[in-house]
Amino acid sequence: MTGTESQQRLIAAILARFRAEFGAELPAVFFAPGRVNLIGAHLDYNGGDVLPVTVDLGVDVAIRLRDDDRLRLRSLDQTAAVDTRLGELGDTRTTAQGWAAYPLGVVRMLSERLDGRGFDAVFGGDLPMASGMSSSAALEVATAYALDQLCGLALPNRELALVCHAAETRFVGVQCGIMDQFASALGRAGHALWLHCADASFEHVEIHAGFELLVMDTKKPRTLASVAFNERVRECGEALEVLRAHARVLPNLASYGEADLARAAPWLAGVHLKRARHVVSEMQRVARGVAALRVGEIAALGAALSSSHRSTAVDYEVSCAELDTITAAACAQPGVFGARLTGAGFGGCAIALIEPGAAERVVPPVRDGFLRRFGVEPGFRVLAAGGGPRRVA
């Protein structure tokens, strides 16, 4: 089955569910993509640079506006059905909202522009959930884009990304940076997004032929990931305070250099030193990675990825045995330029840069070794750099 065929099947399944739940009148269907991050781990909320690639998997939503303020949300993959009203949405999520907190957060952020109209919606997708490929950002961006189109808001995609980021940080309560929402809202086929998170400016960088992106899903659930994530955000904030007091005053952690770390050395210790060292060195790796991508030096890009993984594991401490094993096993295969965890870490997916067509050779030994060690069969998929949100039916 080709990508387009499986997309069509998914849309048909979403429409069938919509009819069963909400009646025959046809809804519109919108799509928003997920992403992998080539390099720039945990830099977005530190004001650094990141290099995500929007993928050709994502979230679809069939949606129809209502004349009253009811909100009825269903999902093909989640059993909980959520019914509420615009006027009932508070400033933060409730436990009962479950998965629907992401779209409802977007609704909350846009609520003043919706003229009191609610909607009926069925969500579905082909992105592995909670695995480091931004299924939550895709849920948010699909909702924001759909409401923008249906209500004629005419917000630029950059604004939609900011709305979705506000939904996640203020309503859902994860202190993430802007990368995922920007990657989903601003993706361009065949390009990576070089995003400067300090001022949310960006540039699309063309991906020349010469490598493929192999996504490797460890299937390890990211239990408590949001707690550990917010803990990293806090630790980085504390490291920034130390650097401001003992090196010099700069706007964010990603602006510091090695000389600053050396100057603040007597005061910067333990986790604070490790987190700062990762952020400072990762900024250099992103610069190297972008330069290498521009000129098609894939070996140099791959080396930057692998060294990013080591820093994320050793200094940032967001890797795990499964992610370390799968990336090391991939890198040991001929035809692999480099590999790293993608997304927040703690489990979920890793990516490998491979020679075009090498997946057939690379996957079997990596899969077999992983299965022997962990008793779980990982998922593999070669992904293309796809476009941003769009109407699909």
Residues in 274-293 that interact with ligand GLA by CB under 6 A: none
Check: CB of residue 91 under 8 Å from CB of residue 49. no
Measure the N-to-C terminal CA separation of the chain; round to a whole number of Å. Answer: 20
Q: How far is the CB of 177 from ligand GLA (least distance, A)?
A: 4
Q: Residue length, the chain?
A: 393
41 vs 353, which CB is nearer to ligand GLA?
41
How far is C-alpha 304 from the chain's CA centre? 20
Instruction: Among 179, 195, 298, 301, indicate the residue that binds ligand GLA (CB under 6 A).
Output: 179
Shortest separation between residue 68's beta carbon and ligand GLA, angstroms = 34
DSSP letter for each residue of 214-268: EEEE-----TTHHHHHHHHHHHHHHHHHHHHHHT---SSGGG--HHHHHHTTTT-
State the minimum distance, in angstroms, from the CB of residue 373 to ligand GLA: 26
In the complex with ligand GLA, the residue whose CB is nearer, 45 or 171, is: 45
What is the CA 120 to chain-centroid distance, rounded?
Answer: 26
Which of 18, 31, 45, 202 is in the footprint of ligand GLA by CB under 6 A? 45
Binding-site member from 32, 73, 150, 176 for ligand GLA (CB under 6 A): 176
Candidates 14-22, 171-179, 265-273, 280-288; binding stretch for ligand GLA (CB under 6 A):
171-179
Cβ distance 197 to 48 under 8 Å?
Answer: yes
Please say which residue, 41 or 352, places its beta carbon nearer to ligand GLA. Answer: 41
Q: Please indicate whether residue 83 is annotated as part of the active site.
A: no
User: In this complex, which beta carbon is closest to ligand GLA, that of residue 41 or of residue 121?
Assistant: 41
Considering only 42, 108, 222, 278, the residue that binds ligand GLA (CB under 6 A) is 42
Is 48 one of the binding residues for ligand GLA (CB under 6 A)? no
From 180, 217, 260, 315, active-site residue: 180
3-class DSSP state of 365: helix
d(CA 142, CA 77): 16
Angle of helix 298-314 versus helix 270-295 axis, rounded to 10: 170
Collapsed DSSP state (helix, strand, coil) of residue 196: strand
Helix axes 298-314, 321-331, angle to 10 degrees: 160
306 to 345: interface string for ligand GLA, x by CB under 6 A: -------------------------------------xx-
Asked if residue 200 lies in contact with residue 158, where contact means CB atoms within 8 angstroms, the answer is yes
Given 49, 69, 180, 260, the residue binding ligand GLA (CB under 6 A):
180
- Return the number of the residue (179 or 358) whose C-beta is nearest ligand GLA: 179
Please give the positions annotated as active site: 180
- Contacts with ligand GLA, residue ranges (CB under 6 A): 37, 41-42, 44-45, 176-177, 179-180, 343-344
